[in-house]
C-alpha cells in the first residue's frame, strides 16, 4: 500500500472519530437542555389551575427535597388543592413529623386530602393526619400508632468468639444503649422515658386531628394495625373510597373536581437519571463500557447502608 493510500485512510479515520465525538457531545448537550427545561418547569410548577398530588412511598425519612416540593405547592396559586397519596409502613418519627408540619402549612392555604392506598402505618399514618380529610380503601392497612426503639444485642456472639470489649466512659449513661452489653436499669428507664414522650406527642396529635378525647385516642393508639373499614369505625379516617371520594371532598370545599390532577414528582437523582435519553445512555455506554455495572453496585450499596427496620408483616 503506497503512502497516498495510507494518508487517505488516516484522514478518513480522523473524520470518523471527529463526527463520532461530535455526535456524542450533541446528544449529551441535548439531554442536558431537556433536564434544565424540566428542572425549570418543576421549580415554577404548572401554570394552569390544577390539583397537585404527591406520593409518600417506602421508608419515611428526613427528605429535604420533598419538604421543598410541598412548600412550593403551598406557594403556587395554580395549585388549588393537594392530594397526598400514602403507601408506606412508616419510618423515622422526625421524618414523619417534618412532613406532617409541611403539609399542615399547605392546608392553611388550600384543601388537602390524604389518600391512604395500600398501607399508611406509624409515621405513614402520622402524615395522613395532616390532611383535612382522610380517605382509605376497605382493605387498606393503617394505624400502628406508637413508637419503637430497637437495637441488636451481640454480646452472646462475642462471648462465643472469645472476644471481650472494655470501655471507659465519662458517665454511666454515655453511649447507652450499646449492642455490646445489656442496658442497665437506669439506661433502660431513660430510653423508656424517651419513647413515652414521643408516644404521648403522637397520641395527642391523633386526639387533636381526629377530634376525639385523649382516652379514646389511647385506646385506638395501642400500636394495633387495622383495615380501612376498622379505621373508619375507630374514627381514624373520614371515608372509605378512592378517587371519586377525593373529588367529592374537593367539590365540598369549592374546588373544581374536574381540574387536572398533576403529579408533583421528585426529580431523579444523578445525571443519568435526570435528563439523559436512552440514546445518550447508549452513547455514554459506548465510551464507558463498565457504566451499568458501576451503577448497579452503587444502587445496592446505597440501599444496604440506608436500610431501616419498620413495621412489616412477619409470616411466622
Weakest-pLDDT range from 62-66, 151-155, 205-209, 305-309? 305-309
Say whether both 116 and 255 belong to one domain.
yes
* Same domain for 172 and 113: no
62 and 198 co-located in one domain: no
Q: Which of 174, 251, 269, 301 is labelled catalytic?
A: 174
**Domains: count for the chain:** 3
pLDDT at 294 > cutoff 70:
no
Say if pTM beats, i.e. exceeds, 0.85. Answer: no
Q: Which residues contact 195 (CB under 8 A, 6 or more apart)?
A: 147, 148, 149
Domain assignment of residue 307, yes or no: no
The enclosing domain of 185 has a CATH number of: 3.40.1750.10
303 in a structural domain: no
The grid coordinates of residue 219 equal 385506646
164 and 244 co-located in one domain: no
pLDDT for res 300 = 38
Q: What residues have CB less than 8 Å from 92, skipping those under 6 apart?
A: 60, 61, 62, 123, 308
pLDDT value for 299: 40
- Is the pLDDT confidence value at 104 over 70? yes
- Considering the candidates 122, 140, 144, 247, report the single residue annotated as catalytic: 122
Torsion angle, CA of 123/95/136/204, rounded to 10 degrees? 50
Tell me which residue has cell 443519568. 272
Residue-wise burial string across 270-293, b where 16 or more C-beta atoms lie within 10 A, e elsewhere: eeeebbbeeebbebbeeeeeeeee
Residue 253 in domain: yes
176 in a structural domain: yes
Which residues are bridge partners to 313 per DSSP? none
Q: 81 pairs with which residues across the strands?
A: 51
Label residue 275 by pLDDT band (50, 70, 90). Answer: very low
Per-residue CA distances from 258 to 100, 251, 252 (Å): 27, 9, 13
Shared domain check, 109 and 81: yes
Q: Which helix (H) or strand (E) segment is 210 a member of?
A: none
- Catalytic (active site) residue 211: no
Q: Is 122 a catalytic residue?
A: yes
Q: Measured over all CA atoms, what is the biggest interatomic distance in the chain, rounded to whole angstroms?
A: 98
- Residue 79, in any domain of the structure: yes
For 197, the domain range is 150-211
Helical ranges in the chain per DSSP H: 3-44, 64-75, 93-107, 123-128, 155-161, 185-209, 214-220, 228-233, 243-252, 271-274, 278-287, 291-305
Question: What does the pLDDT look like over 55-66, one tens digit per residue?
Answer: 999 999 999 999
Amino acid at each position: 500500500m503506497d503512502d497516498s493510500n495510507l494518508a487517505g485512510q488516516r484522514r478518513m479515520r480522523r473524520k470518523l472519530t471527529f463526527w463520532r465525538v461530535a455526535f456524542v457531545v450533541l446528544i449529551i448537550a441535548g439531554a442536558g437542555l431537556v433536564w434544565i427545561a424540566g428542572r425549570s418547569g418543576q421549580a415554577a410548577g404548572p401554570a394552569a389551575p390544577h390539583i397537585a398530588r404527591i406520593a409518600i412511598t417506602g421508608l419515611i425519612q428526613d427528605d429535604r427535597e420533598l419538604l421543598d416540593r410541598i412548600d412550593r405547592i403551598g406557594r403556587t396559586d395554580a395549585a388549588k388543592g393537594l392530594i397526598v397519596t400514602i403507601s408506606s409502613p412508616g419510618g423515622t418519627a422526625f421524618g414523619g413529623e417534618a412532613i406532617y408540619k409541611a403539609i399542615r402549612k399547605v392546608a392553611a392555604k388550600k384543601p388537602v386530602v390524604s389518600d391512604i392506598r395500600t398501607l399508611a402505618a406509624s409515621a405513614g399514618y402520622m402524615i395522613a393526619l395532616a390532611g383535612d380529610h382522610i380517605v382509605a380503601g376497605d382493605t387498606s392497612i393503617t394505624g400502628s400508632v406508637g413508637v419503637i426503639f430497637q437495637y441488636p444485642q451481640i454480646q452472646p456472639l462475642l462471648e462465643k468468639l472469645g472476644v471481650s470489649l472494655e470501655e471507659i466512659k465519662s458517665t454511666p449513661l454515655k453511649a447507652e444503649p450499646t449492642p455490646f452489653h445489656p442496658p442497665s436499669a437506669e439506661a433502660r428507664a431513660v430510653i423508656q422515658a424517651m419513647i413515652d414522650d414521643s408516644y404521648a406527642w403522637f397520641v395527642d396529635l391523633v386526639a387533636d386531628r381526629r377530634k376525639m378525647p385523649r382516652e379514646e385516642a389511647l385506646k385506638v393508639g395501642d400500636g394495633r394495625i387495622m383495615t380501612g373499614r376498622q379505621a373508619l369505625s375507630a374514627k381514624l379516617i373520614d371515608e372509605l373510597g378512592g378517587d371519586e371520594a377525593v373529588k367529592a371532598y374537593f367539590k365540598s370545599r369549592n374546588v373544581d373536581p374536574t381540574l387536572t390532577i398533576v403529579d408533583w414528582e421528585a426529580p431523579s437523582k444523578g445525571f443519568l437519571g435526570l435528563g439523559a435519553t436512552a440514546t445518550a445512555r447508549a452513547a455514554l455506554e459506548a465510551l464507558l463500557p463498565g457504566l451499568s455495572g458501576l451503577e448497579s453496585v452503587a444502587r445496592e450499596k446505597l440501599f444496604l447502608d440506608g436500610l431501616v427496620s419498620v413495621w412489616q408483616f412477619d409470616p411466622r
